Chain A
Amino acid sequence: MSRRSTRHDSFTIERRYPVPPARVFDAFADQTKKARWFGCVDGWEVAEHSIDFRVGGREVWRGGPPGGTQHRNDTVYHDIVRDERIVWSYTMQVDDRPISVSLTTLELGPDGAGTRLRFVEQGVYLDDYDGAADRVRGTNDLLDSLDRALREER
């Protein structure tokens, strides 16, 4: 499955949080805070995480399952408006292979006493990295859980 391919798409996610925009902004700007939510996939080890949070500054995140595939995110910050907006681009690599390049726009606004967050990602996804075999495995997992759920119903 090493056919060369590119795919382009974008998606938008919206969230509301019960704290003011300044606190949401800090959770992106402050490395210690960001480390508490950004990369913590169950069982994954974080090998490196550094943030230079300013326009033109870089962020590196490396990690993955112990002994498994190593993931790497390289980010560049392009626009920062305190408590309102962050624009960054990032590449994702798996075992030193680039798998995607994305442009992300994060917008924060007040929502009563809380925050309304809008996240837009536009990207190019390379070489069908996910592969048919992985997707079939994913579907099998889905069918297995469907099977379990149906059996529990009985």
Chain B
Amino acid sequence: MLNHPQLDLVFQALADPTRRDMVERLGRGPASVSELAQPLDMSLPAVLQHLQVLEASGLVSSEKTGRVRMCRIEPKAMETAESWFAKRREIWERRLDRLGEFLVEEENERRKTRRKR
């Protein structure tokens, strides 16, 4: 699952704290470029540059509506990094590991009682 070439771009994009802030903000819903820039202490061109990196990674898309550029998260991009199925599989992997621990514990308990008899 981690062999997608786009994943490199995703991690590159998320390696920068400003861009992580922007992604986190967009995780709460779409925002205009000026809304994105507002809490950041930098010029608009600098924000646009970060936006370009995010868009290249496929994490974020933007669209101009009238005079406003609206940005949003692209859920599909993250699917390469972590899908529903990876998560569901993980749940069962953990469960079946715990099952293994339980079976060994149970085996030890049985041995102890057998010795006592």
Contacts and interface: CB of A to CB of B under 8 A. Distances in A.
Nearest to A36: B102
A121 B92 contact: yes
Contacts of B70: none
Interface in A44-101: 100
A143 B88 CA distance: 21
Contacts of A151: none
Contact of A23 (B79, B93, B103): B103
A13 B93 contact: yes
Contacts of A100: 84, 88
A17 B84 CA distance: 27
B93 A133 contact: no
A136 B88 contact: no
Interface string B98-117: 11111110110000000000
Interface residues on A, range: 35 or more
B89 A13 contact: yes
A43 B96 CA distance: 19
B82 A138 contact: yes
B89 A27 contact: no
Given A17-B100, A27-B99, A139-B14, A125 B85 contact: yes
A33 B100 contact: no
Interface in B1-40: 10-11, 14-15, 20, 23-24, 27-28
A139 B81 contact: yes
B16 to A, nearest CB: 10
A142 to B, nearest CB: 8
B87 A130 contact: yes
B53 interface: no
Nearest to A41: B94
Interface in A17-42: 17-19, 23-24, 27, 33, 36-38, 40
